[in-house]
Amino acid sequence: MSGVQKPVIRTIGDGDYDDVCRLNNADSCPLSKNDPRHPYNAAARIIEESHDPQSQGRGWFAVAGGEVAGIITTENFGGGIIVDPKFRGQGIAGHLIRAREEFLRAQGQTTTQVHILAGNTASIHAFTKAGYAFDKKSADVIAAHGGDRAQVPQNTVLVMERSLETPKPDSPRQSVHKSAPAAPKTP
């Protein structure tokens, strides 16, 4: 989209409680701050683990125009991605998705998966743009509904996945039909 600046992606750290809670709609959260389910506790855990190099848990913010515009976390914090409504539709999700992938790749992970409700079109579009595809089981569910995701009950959890392996620059593109004979060369 033209006129949209690339957001800055940074790891969540000290002092980020309020923004984590705001992005999780904490204002309407009826839980006490002492309740382990309260977003403040989730934020505290994310911040604590982000300081621990051994930890597999991380969270990232996208900052656009000096404002915290979005969040993504690793799977152990729910793996959620949320972009502030006023920043949606600018491709910010893609930058957050890449930040998490880079971390997972550095951890040695070779694939990643996300769980998305069938009715969450914005999320499915964002992950599709980022190169994710439905896993076999989810693709079968969609196929069983005439190949139309809109026909799948909206609260069905679908799985999208993506390889984290980087293709080697000099190696030829992987062929789906590995055993197929090489095509004859044409002059």
Ligand X SMILES: CC(C)(COP(=O)(O)OP(=O)(O)OC[C@H]1O[C@@H](n2cnc3c(N)ncnc32)[C@H](O)[C@@H]1OP(=O)(O)O)[C@@H](O)C(=O)NCCC(=O)NCCS
Count of other CB atoms within 10 angstroms of residue 78: 12
- Eight-state DSSP code of residue 48: H
Site for ligand X in 62-81 (CB under 6 A): 80-81
Instruction: Quote the least distance from Cβ 111 to ligand X, whole Å.
Output: 17
Minimum CB–partner distance for residue 7 and ligand X (Å): 9
Write the interaction track for ligand X spanning residues 116-145; mark x where CB under 6 A is met and - where it is not. Answer: x---xxxx-xx--x----------------
Q: Is the dihedral of CA 57, 106, 164, 59 positive or negative?
A: positive
How many chain residues touch ligand X (CB under 6 A)?
19
Whether residue 79 contacts residue 73, with contact meaning beta carbons closer than 8 Å, is answered with: yes
What residues from 80 to 119 belong to the interface with ligand X (CB under 6 A)? 80-83, 88-94, 116
CB of 86 to ligand X, least distance (A): 8
C-alpha distance from residue 107 to each of 103, 117, 133 (Å): 6, 27, 22
Cβ nearer to ligand X, comparing 25 with 107: 25
Tokens (6 digits) for 68: 């915290």
Angle between the N-to-C axes of helices 121-129 and 92-106, in degrees from 0 to 180, rounded to the nearest 10: 60
Q: What is the number of the residue whose Cβ is closest to ligand X?
A: 89
Q: By the criterion CB under 6 A, which residues form the site for ligand X?
A: 80-83, 88-94, 116, 120-123, 125-126, 129
